Amino acid sequence: MSTVSYYTAEGLKKLREELDYLKTVMRPKASQDIADARDKGDLSENAEYDAAKEAQGMLEMKIAKLEEIHANARLIDESNLDLSKVLVLSSVKIKNQANGMEMKYTLVAESEADLKTGKISVTSPIGKGLLGKSIGEVAEIKVPNGVLKFEILEITRE
């Protein structure tokens, strides 16, 4: 059974572009690779042909998976989001109570997470721990090293 995934407009656009690329560029290339390998002679001893067929099968599996994800993707309507709580697409400024370090993260769908740009997944331990919290609340988050305590300093939408 498929699960619904929530995307920003940017994330959904990237998903569509990847799916289009696989269908319009990579699928014809895989077919051409098979045709080229078939032209090289005896198929029973043609490793290049077997490899091309296997690559095509992997490509078709990836396309099918992305089509399923796309079919179950939902665009997040930012205008209806509550600004008083941490939700998907919230930019949250937090303070680590153990060392006083302040950080800012934006909570996004799992497929859009990128720690380098400050985007963390709502399904990550920190993301799950922050969801639903309000300014001033302390989120206690269990991680492999123990429990981290983060105070919510600011919630914004960007």
What percentage of residues in the chain have a pLDDT greater than 90? 32
User: Is the pTM above the cut of 0.85?
Assistant: no
Say if residue 69 is in the same domain as residue 113: no
- On whether both 146 and 119 belong to a single domain, the answer is yes
Q: Are residues 120 and 148 in the same domain?
A: yes
Can you give the pLDDT at residue 39? 84
Please check whether residue 126 lies inside any domain of the structure: yes
User: Do residue 68 and residue 113 come from a single domain?
Assistant: no
Q: Are 119 and 112 in contact (CB under 8 A)?
A: yes
The pLDDT of residue 16 is above 60: yes
Check residue 1 and give its pLDDT: 47
Q: For residues 64 and 150, what is the distance between their CA atoms, to the nearest angstrom?
A: 40
Residues 113 and 149 in one domain: yes
Q: Which residues contact residue 110 at a Cβ distance below 8 angstroms, ignoring those fewer than 6 apart?
A: 5, 121, 122, 123
Give the Cα separation of 146 and 154 in Å (integer): 25
Range of the domain at 23: 3-73
pLDDT tens sequence across 52-76: 899 999 999 999 998 988 888 877 7
Sign of CA dihedral 6, 103, 155, 153: positive
Same domain for 91 and 112, yes or no, is: yes
Tokens 């914004």 correspond to: 156
Based on the structure, what is the number of domains in the chain?
A: 2
